[in-house]
Amino acid sequence: MTSNRKRSGPVDLLKATVNAKGKDGKPKYRLDIMLNTLVTKVRFDTKRGGSPRAIGVDFELGESLYGADPRRQAGHVGKGGLVTARREVIISAGMSHALHIVVS
Ligand SMILES: Cc1cc2nc3c(=O)[nH]c(=O)nc-3n(C[C@H](O)[C@H](O)[C@H](O)COP(=O)(O)OP(=O)(O)OC[C@H]3O[C@@H](n4cnc5c(N)ncnc54)[C@H](O)[C@@H]3O)c2cc1C
């Protein structure tokens, strides 16, 4: 709820963050949002020794890719891709999906 009693949710915060501009008119924050994107796996760096470190995620791009989506067409595979992270990977896919992605 905003100060003028308007209903708001996470999507409003995400939109405000993406659209925020600095004094120079350029985007204030480095945030890209990809719609219709199913994360399939977390990539870990295991070569450096010590604990594995998450360095990116694999994804598939396309509509209705999730297995439980009733609109999904059998055999339809999205366009694969990979995004890498220099600092950290945050998985916020919900209670059960987040765990599923991490152990895939
Ligand atoms: C019926 C119901 C009523 C509720 N009512 C309330 C309430 O009144 N008040 C309250 O505070 N809480 C309520 N909750 C709880 C609240 O909805 C959850 O605690 C909250 O949504 C958790 O947020 P989250 O971001 O962790 O996960 P989610 O809201 O589940 O978001 C996870 C997102 O990740 C996406 N995702 C999943 N897997 C992938 C993948 N592989 N690749 C890409 N994206 C993926 C999903 O599509 C989803 O958009 C309710 C829950 C339910 C089920």
For residue 99, report the distance from its CA to the centre of ligand 1, in Å.
Answer: 14
Maximum distance among all Cα pairs of the chain, rounded to whole angstroms? 52
Q: Is the CB of 38 under 6 A from ligand 1?
A: yes
pLDDT, average across residues 1-5: 79
pLDDT, average across residues 36-45: 96
For residue 82, report the distance from its CA to the centre of ligand 1, in Å.
Answer: 24
Nearest Cα to Cα of residue 38 among 89, 78, 92, 94: 78
Q: How confident is the model at residue 69 (pLDDT cuts 50, 70, 90)?
A: very high
- Dihedral of alpha carbons 12, 94, 58, 69, sign: negative
Q: How confident is the model at residue 41 (pLDDT cuts 50, 70, 90)?
A: very high
pLDDT at 53 over 80: yes
Are 28 and 19 spatial neighbours (Cβ–Cβ below 8 Å)? no
Separation CA 48–CA 74 (nearest Å): 40
**pLDDT for res 84:** 97
Atom of ligand 1 nearest to the CA of 94: 27
**pLDDT for res 5:** 87
Report which secondary-structure segment, H or E, holds 79.
strand 79-84
pTM here?
Answer: 0.87
pLDDT in tens, 8-33: 899 999 999 999 999 999 999 999 99
